[in-house]
Amino acid sequence: MTETVTARRDTEVPRTSTPTPPRRRRRFTWGTGGLYVALVAIGIFCLAPFYWMVVSSLKGPADIFDNSLVPLEPTLENYAAVFGAQNTFALALRNSVIIAGSVTVIALVFGIFASYAIARLQFRGKNLVLGLFLATSMFPGVAILTPLFQLFADLGWIDTFQAMIIPDVSFSLPLGVWILTSFFRAMPWELEAAARVDGCTRGQAFRKIILPLAVPGVFTTAILVFISAWNEFMIANSMSLTSASQPVTVAIAQFSGISQYDKPYGTQMAAGVLVTIPLIILVLIFQRRIISGLTAGGVK
């Protein structure tokens, strides 16, 4: 199979020498009908449970369990309860933004550095590094919880942002490095080499030529890291004590109903909706970047 592909690629015009016309997407080959069926199926698969979540969030306590597909008496009281006195949700949202944002930036920077080194540079210990990245993803999270709590408690870092940011970065790095490495490997490095021959430093060549082409990989990693840091619970639950540092996942877990035994299902669903919407908006804004391909126009 590989041979077939390679053979074909030898016959094609090298990308670098011809400016290709604006990308034409592949035409519908399954027939438009097939595509729309697939679209509907995907839509239902992904959104039906979310729809149920939204519907549940709009139902008051009386009819929350009545299984009606449309709320009989829609009410916003769950949303009010989310922001109510007992639940400091707005603060939690702020904390989540700070934590997830920092984690994304740091993990991207570290990850890009490391992936560049692995993909591009020659050094002994590559296997060791990649193996280390992979192995750290093999431990059940709880295994590191208590010693880490102890360490941070000694440092006086409980109830601070860094106590959550640093572990989250380490959870995201392995996947990020692997994704970015496989992207960087697929880059046309001859461009970089050519740029350096022309006098650019490594850094400039990287920034100006390689990085723009790696945008899909970088943004995919960014979105995955952001979402995973946004939704992280176990570490945040242990490391944050007060609403000053608690992110939304912990805040939601602390929602309470009227009694200790009442699970505030409606409020939790409302909070879930509130917490998911920003992520969806983020994805909508950046989804172009995820899919912008290797347009040959990026070549000098």
Partner 1 sequence: MAISLGTARTRRRRPRESRERDGRLAFWLVIPSVIVLTVVIAFPVISSVVRSFFGDGIGDVPFVGFQNYADALWGYGAQEFWAATGITYLFAGVTIVLETLIGLGMALVANRAFRGRGLLRASVLVPWAIPTAVAAVLWKWAFDPQGIINAITGSTVVWTGSAVPSIIAIIIADTWKTAPFVALLILAGLQIIPDDVYEAAKIDGASAWKRFWYITLPLVRPALLVAVLFRLLDALRMYDLPEIMTNGANGTATLSVLVVQSTLSQLKPGYGGALSTLTFALIFVTAYLFVRLLGVNAVDQASSGKGAGR
Partner 2 sequence: MRTKKRLIAVVTAATALTTAALTGCSTGASDNGGDGTGPITFASGKDLTGAMPQLIDKWNEMHPDQKVTFLELSASPDDQRTSFVQDFQAKSGKYDVIWGDVVWTSEFAAHGWLEPLDADKVAGDDILPAAVESATYEGKVWAAPFMTNAGLLYYRSDLIDAPPTTWDELEADCEIAKQNNMDCYAGQFAQYEGLTVNVAEAINSAGGAFLSEDGTEVAVDSPEAREGLQHLVDMFANGDINAGAITYQEQESANAFLEGKAMFLRNWPYVFTAASAPDSVIAGKFDMAQLPGLDGPGVSSLGGINLGVSAFSKNKETAKAWVEWMQSEDAQRILVSVMNQASVRTDLYTDPDLVQVSPYLPTLQKAELTAVPRPRTPNYNAVSLAIQKNAYAALQGNVTVDEAITQMAADLEQAIK
> Choosing among partner 2, partner 1, none, which partner's interface includes residue 79 (Cβ < 5 to 8 Å by kind)?
none
From partner 1, partner 2, none, interface partner of 17 (C-beta below 5 to 8 A by class) = none
Burial of 282 per CB tally in 10 Å (0-12, 13-18, 19+)? middle
Apex 14 CA angle, 13 and 17, nearest 5:
100
Q: Is 110 exposed, middle or buried (0-12, 13-18, 19+ CB in 10 A)?
A: middle
Residue 265 tokens, joined: 């299902």
Q: Which of 3, 12, 154, 198 binds partner 2 (CB under 8 A)?
A: 154
Query: Which residue lies nearer to partner 2 by CB, 86 or 287?
Result: 86
| Closer residue to partner 1 (CB): 163 or 245 | 163
Binder of residue 1, out of partner 1, partner 2, none (CB less than 5 to 8 A by kind): partner 1
Binding partner of residue 90 among partner 2, partner 1, none, CB under 5 to 8 Å per kind? none
Residue 262 touches which of partner 2, partner 1, none (Cβ within 5-8 Å per kind): partner 2
Based on CB atoms, which residue is closest to partner 2, 38 or 80?
80
Check binding of 18 to partner 2 (CB under 8 A). Answer: no
Shortest gap between Cβ of 262 and partner 2 (angstroms)?
5
Question: Residue 146 or residue 287: which is nearer to partner 2 going by CB?
Answer: 146
Residue bearing tokens 């139902």: 59
Asked if 139 touches partner 2 (CB under 8 A), the answer is no
**How big is the chain, counted in residues?**
300
User: Could you tell which of partner 1, partner 2, none binds residue 260, using a CB distance below 5 to 8 A set by kind?
Assistant: partner 2
Confirm or reject binding of residue 241 to partner 2 (CB under 8 A).
Answer: yes
Could you give the CA distance from residue 131 to residue 174 in angstroms, rounded to a whole number? Answer: 10
Burial of 2 (0-12, 13-18, 19+ CB in 10 A): exposed
Least distance (Å) between residue 206 CB and partner 2: 19
**Cβ atoms of residues 253 and 89 within 8 Å:** no
Q: What angle, rounded to 10 degrees, do the helices at 126-135 and 89-120 form?
A: 150
- Our CB check for partner 2 shows the closer of 140 and 147 to be 147
With helix as H, strand as E and coil as C, how does 97-119 read?
Answer: HHHHHHHHHHHHHHHHHHHHHHH
Is residue 32 classed exposed, middle or buried when 0-12, 13-18 and 19+ CB atoms within 10 A define those classes?
A: exposed
Angstrom distances, CA of residue 110 to CA of 84, 103, 113, 185, 228: 39, 10, 5, 17, 17
Using rule CB under 8 A, residue 158 touches partner 2 = yes
Rounded distance, CA 110 to CA 117, Å?
A: 11
Nearer Cβ to partner 2, position 40 or 155?
A: 155
What does 249 interact with, of partner 1, partner 2, none (CB < 5 to 8 A by kind)?
partner 1
Choices 97-105, 206-214, 249-257, 273-281; region in contact with partner 2 by CB under 8 A: 249-257
Candidate list 90, 155, 281, 291; residue touching partner 2; CB under 8 A: 155
Site for partner 2, rule CB under 8 A = 62, 65, 85-86, 123-125, 128-129, 132, 146-147, 149-151, 153-155, 158, 237-238, 241-242, 253-263
